Amino acid sequence: NAGVMQNPRHLVRRRGQEARLRCSPMKGHSHVYWYRQLPEEGLKFMVYLQKENIIDESGMPKERFSAEFPKEGPSILRIQQVVRGDSAAYFCASSPSGHRTLKTQYFGPGTRLLVL
Amino acid sequence: SQQGEEDPQALSIQEGENATMNCSYKTSINNLQWYRQNSGRGLVHLILIRSNEREKHSGRLRVTLDTSKKSSSLLITASRAADTASYFCATGPGGVQGAQKLVFGQGTRLTINP
């Protein structure tokens, strides 16, 4: 059973370009979470999605960032017009459906975004 | 602001010794989880303790939770070089909607010296 898959593992973009980060949850998991980690810091929640629904996007910046989890295919975190401050590691996690309060989140290896 | 704060920020011990890391948080929680992160890698889930539990064991790991003090500790016994990593506590806040949003501390960087 493959774990959470993220690609690319490393992404380099110039200021003003778009970054697309993909996440495939573990088999059987229908809940996806995106977190951002700045150097030497802990992870910060960005968004929580279920298939075709954004459940909680309270951690998403108001502009340039968007996320989706379509019925088919991976979840996508999209950053438009990237700036140097977007450089960070972006982690995706997934969890199974079921009791809402006791689900362990399983993390992918992350995508390290560098904005030049 | 971050919910959890780990203490110490960095810890260096000799192989075979025990390592204790602490985590404090501010608001009510449903559960508290500990994760390990090796340098440049993703997070590995270690253990989850529910708000109505006081202590939990998993192999060489022992986690305690004191909800009255809003604190938790992670003890790694008989440390090994492979335990070198950053360790994060993450809280699942109380409330139905908030239960899904893990709030991470800054982490403790543990170094095990051979």
Asked if residue B8 has a cis previous peptide bond (ω within 30° of 0), the answer is yes
pLDDT for res A1: 53
Q: pLDDT, tens digit, for every residue of B29-82?
A: 888 999 999 987 889 999 999 999 999 999 999 999 999 999 999 999 999 999
Distance of CA B102 to CAs A35, B12, B93, B98, Å? 9, 27, 7, 8
Q: What is the number of other CB atoms lying within 10 angstroms of the CB of residue B89?
A: 32
Q: How far apart are the CA of B109 and the nearest CA of chain A, in angstroms? A: 10
pLDDT for res B47: 93
Q: Is B107 on the interface with A (CB under 8 A)?
A: yes
The reply to whether residue B35 touches residue A107, judged by beta carbons under 8 angstroms, is: yes
Cβ atoms B70, B83 nearer than 8 A: no
Q: What is the number of other CB atoms lying within 10 angstroms of the CB of residue A41?
A: 15
Q: Is B25 on the interface with A (CB under 8 A)?
A: no
Kindly tell me if the per-residue pLDDT of B1 is higher than 50.
Answer: no
pLDDT for res A66: 97
Quote the CA–CA distance of A98 and B100 in Å, as a whole number. Answer: 12
Q: pLDDT, tens digit, for every residue of A100-111?
A: 555 678 899 999
Task: Extract the tokens encoding B92.
Answer: 């699942």
Residue range B91-105: mean pLDDT, rounded = 70
Percent of chain A at pLDDT exceeding 90: 72
The reply to whether residue B43 touches residue A55, judged by beta carbons under 8 angstroms, is: no
Handedness of CA B79, A112, A68, A83 (dihedral sign): positive
For A55, the closest chain B residue by CA position comes to B97
Q: Is B24 on the interface with A (CB under 8 A)?
A: no
For B93, the closest chain A residue by CA position comes to A101
pLDDT for res B3: 57
Quote the CA–CA distance of A112 and B1 in Å, as a whole number. Answer: 23
Q: Is A101 on the interface with B (CB under 8 A)?
A: yes
Q: pLDDT, tens digit, for every residue of A43-97?
A: 999 999 998 899 899 999 999 999 999 999 999 999 999 999 999 999 999 988 6
Closest CA to A37 of B90, B100, B73, B17: B90
Q: Is A96 on the interface with B (CB under 8 A)?
A: no
The reply to whether residue B43 touches residue A43, judged by beta carbons under 8 angstroms, is: yes
Which of A4, A45, A107 lies nearest to residue B101, judging by beta carbons? A45
Q: What is the DSSP string of B54-89?
A: SEEEETTEEEEEETTTTEEEEEE-S--GGG-EEEEE
Quote the CA–CA distance of A68 and A53 in Å, as a whole number. Answer: 8
Q: How far apart are the CA of A109 and the nearest CA of chain B, in angstroms? A: 4
Residue range A24-51: mean pLDDT, rounded = 91
Q: Is A53 on the interface with B (CB under 8 A)?
A: no
pLDDT for res B100: 72
Residue range A37-45: mean pLDDT, rounded = 88
Q: What is the number of other CB atoms lying within 10 angstroms of the CB of residue B103?
A: 23
The reply to whether residue A48 touches residue B101, judged by beta carbons under 8 angstroms, is: yes
Looking up tokens 């016994």 gives B77
Q: pLDDT, tens digit, for every residue of B7-26?
A: 898 999 999 999 999 999 98
